[in-house]
Structure 1
Amino acid sequence: MKTGLILLAAGSSSRLGSPKQLIEFQGKKLLQKAVEEGLKSKVDSMVVVLGWNPELIKSSFDPKKTPFVVNTNWEEGMASSMQTGLRFLMEKEDPDQVILMLCDQPFVDVSLLDRMILDKEEPRKGIVACAYSDTLGVPALFDKHYFEELMALKGSEGAKKVILSHVEEVIAIDFPEGEIDLDTKEDLIRIQKLFPSTEE
């Protein structure tokens, strides 16, 4: 089974006021850390989806080692960026399954990504999703059966819509840290208190 990883990093961080991709967390920029965890994992291919100010954001990882694609329609919302990444992997790598990952969940690491791939091998279910805050969400792994549905999402719709439409086909992994993302200044203040080394 070939696994692709789509790392979404296209947004402008308008609610935060500065690019979240470049926020420092535990000595590394968020996007840099996410790329490194992806590269260490058992995925077979990977693409970073950029959008807002791609030249600036690209500075946080080595574009020679990690393929990237720019979504010129990033302002349309999450669906457009995810589909840009999925289309890229389908054309270049033809994966059997893909993991969708956001760059602003700082606790996603190689062990979680590898566990998702491993869990998917066991029961015959098509989706692996993370469970936190009484819901299911990303990171999430989808096998090829769901690609068409992912490609049909619109605007701000994300992978969660597909996950919740097929709950009986989901393997859930407890990942309480998944609720910690960095969308607002309040989120940043909260994580700075928990982890004082975090900087803007």
Structure 2
Amino acid sequence: MSTGVIILAAGAATRIGRAKMLLPYQSTNLLLHLVQEVKQIQPQHLLIVTGFYHQLILEQMNWQKDVDIVYNENWQKGMATSIQKGIEYVMQKPLPVTHLFLLVSDQPFLNSTLLQNMLTLQQHTQKGIVAAEYDGIIGTPVLFAEQYFAKLLELKGDVGARKIVHQYRKDVATIAFPLGKFDIDTPEDYEKFCLLNNESNAK
């Protein structure tokens, strides 16, 4: 089993009005923290797909080893274009992967333990898709086996991988990720996250 990880970070984050993936977190920022967590599962390939904030992300991340950054020139056409850009890039790499994680950059509580547990669940169940579940919703992060890569490439517009997950529900294993419901879309979300994180660290 060889794994690739695609972090989707192409959006303009209009509701928060700034590059939310670069908001401060601990001694770094949200995106770099996520990259550090991902590296702990030792993926074959780690890719960040950028868009509106490409230059800012590049400046923050270009010194990172073993991280590829790819600009999606069609980011305004929706998330499907970023998924396609990422998969096409990974598929042309010399070392192929059998599984791909799709992650978003604004789930601050995503960590390496969850990702490793998803890999373990896939091996135990042999399901083609493993997805997180929170508040009755099946969503990101999602792990796809290679038989779904072509189907992901067929997505169009502002449609995420959830469409494939629901279409092939019988081939999906889910894992509880209660904090997955929390993402950062507004300044208030970020303030709430900082408060929750401080409370967690104080325990």
TM-score, normalised to structure 2's length? 0.92
Which of 172, 183, 186 is equivalent to 2:185? 183
Residue in structure 1 matched with residue 109 of structure 2 by the alignment: 107
Aligned partners of 1:165 and 1:14: how far apart in 2?
A: 30
Larger RCO: 1 or 2 (CA < 8 Å, sep 6+): 1
Cα contact 1:30–1:106 (8 A) shared by 2:
yes
Counterparts in 2 of 1:166 and 1:63: CA distance versus 1, 3 Å? farther
Three-state SS of the structure 1 residue aligned to 2:116 is: helix
Three-state SS of the structure 1 residue aligned to 2:61 is: coil
> Is 1:84 matched up with 2:85?
yes
- 1:64 Cα shift? 4.9
Larger deviation: 148-157 or 186-195?
186-195
Q: Deviations over 1:109-156 (max 9, x none)?
A: 111111111111111210000000211001000001111111111111
Cα contact 2:19–2:53 (8 A) shared by 1:
no
What amino acid sits opposite 1:168 in the alignment?
K
Percent identical residues: 37
Aligned partners of 2:106 and 2:158: how far apart in 1?
A: 17
- 1:61 Cα shift? 2.2
Cα contact 2:8–2:105 (8 A) shared by 1:
yes
- 1:53 Cα shift? 3.0
Unpaired runs of 5+ in structure 2? none
What amino acid sits opposite 1:146 in the alignment?
Y
Cα contact 2:49–2:86 (8 A) shared by 1:
yes
What amino acid sits opposite 1:72 in the alignment?
E
> Is 1:154 matched up with 2:151?
no
What amino acid sits opposite 1:35 in the alignment?
V
Give structure 1 regions of 4+ aligned residues with deviation exceeding 3 angstroms.
none
Aligned partners of 1:187 and 1:117: how far apart in 2?
A: 29
What amino acid sits opposite 1:74 in the alignment?
W
Residue in structure 1 matched with residue 51 of structure 2 by the alignment: 51
- 1:63 Cα shift? 4.5
Aligned partners of 1:105 and 1:70: how far apart in 2?
A: 21
Residue in structure 1 matched with residue 5 of structure 2 by the alignment: 5
RMSD over aligned CA atoms reads: 1.5
Aligned partners of 2:121 and 2:101: how far apart in 1?
A: 13
TM-score, normalised to structure 1's length? 0.93
Aligned partners of 1:177 and 1:146: how far apart in 2?
A: 26
Which of 131, 134, 142 is equivalent to 2:133? 131
What amino acid sits opposite 2:48 in the alignment?
V
* 1:51-70 paired onto structure 2 within 5 Å: 51-65=51-65, 66-70=67-71
